[in-house]
Amino acid sequence: MVARSSEVRPTAVRRSASPGAGGRRGRRAGRLAGLGFGGAALLILLTGCDVNSAFGFGWPQGITPESRRMYDLWIASCIAALVVGVFVWGLIFWCVVRYRKRGNELPVQTRYNLPMEFLYTIAPVLIVSVLFYYTAVVQTDVVKTTSNPDVTVEVVAFKWNWQFNYRDGQGVDANTTASVLGTSEVIPILVLPTDRSIRFEETSKDVIHSFWVPEMLFKRDVMPGNIRNVFEVSSLESEGAYVGRCAELCGSYHAFMNFELRVVSPENFDRFLAAKQGGASTQDALTSIGEEPYAVTTRPFETRRTEHNFNQAGAGS
């Protein structure tokens, strides 16, 4: 036997408090709904949201092919979630209006609707399966590596700064040809070229850190010990300066652990690297290719790590 929907008509009849109570409640609910929608619209207007940011659902525009694939996946996921949400919300409001109480008689009670229950079970499974498939496809593309990238950078994290080593090959046996070291007074600048594949080999000197450039839409944990976390980008598509951060809580001065990614043309990158290999400082090498010598997207923070503070801490302990 196949279960079918059944209707149960209630025998009980409820008495309302007064003949006009239902109408007053309906008008009150309508006014509240109107105020709610108006307040939401006013809030959006007053915040002055940027249209591009709103359509990006909070994500910045990426600067790599991998970041664009992740961006597209994110937008598609948000749209799918909104479609499902609007459909469910619509059903809820429709049921509230369609089956609201009228007069003194309770509405018909419907149950055991097998087709509807089947739909509500299969539809979410199909939606999740599609999202899972495309997530796996994009993830496979993002984490893939090649055997011979154009540029290899060793990212060394330590409390609470960065060192970037330009390498002549891959793995621990490769040699460092130039290096950029950050200090408490100078933000480290990682200079990289457009239109070349770049391999990042990450390691930490102490605790777990995380290498993150928001415009790459991707972050990777930097692990201590003999673990080298490796990832690649097939190219950087836009020249410019982009702030980078540590995205893993790593101690007292975690918030100060910033760096800058400076993307330049391949010709300027070659000149910068040659200047560094010739003994020039990072600031002089940047000046020689017409770039700002210091970071323009972030600045050093005052750590207040002075002898006076340390003496006070020692006296109180």
Q: Do domains 56-103+110-143 and 151-301 have the same CATH topology?
A: no
Q: What pLDDT score was predicted for residue 292? A: 94
Full-prediction pTM beyond 0.75? no
pLDDT grade for 177, boundaries at 50, 70 and 90: very high
**CATH 1.10.287 holds for 56-103+110-143:** yes
Most confidently modeled of 81-95, 160-174, 261-275, 300-314? Answer: 261-275
Read off the pLDDT of residues 191-216 as tens digits, 9 standing for 90 and up.
Answer: 999 999 999 999 999 999 999 999 99
- Map out the domains of the chain as residue ranges: 56-103+110-143, 151-301
Average pLDDT, the chain: 82
* Residue 149 φ/ψ, nearest 5 degrees: -70, 160
Q: Which amino acid type is present at position 94?
A: W
Read off the pLDDT of residues 251-286 as tens digits, 9 standing for 90 and up.
Answer: 888 988 999 999 999 999 999 999 999 999 999 999
Is residue 187 within 8 A of residue 294, CB to CB? The reply is yes
Task: Mention every residue, 6+ apart, whose C-beta is less than 8 A from residue 291.
Answer: 191, 262, 264, 268, 272
**Strands of 151-158's sheet in order across:** 176-181, 161-167, 151-158, 198-204, 229-233
Q: How far is CA 63 from CA 217, 242, 246, 261, 299, in A?
A: 9, 10, 19, 11, 22
Read off the pLDDT of residues 69-101 as tens digits, 9 standing for 90 and up.
Answer: 999 998 999 999 999 999 999 989 988 888 777
Superfamily (CATH) of domain 151-301 = Cupredoxins -  blue copper proteins (2.60.40.420)
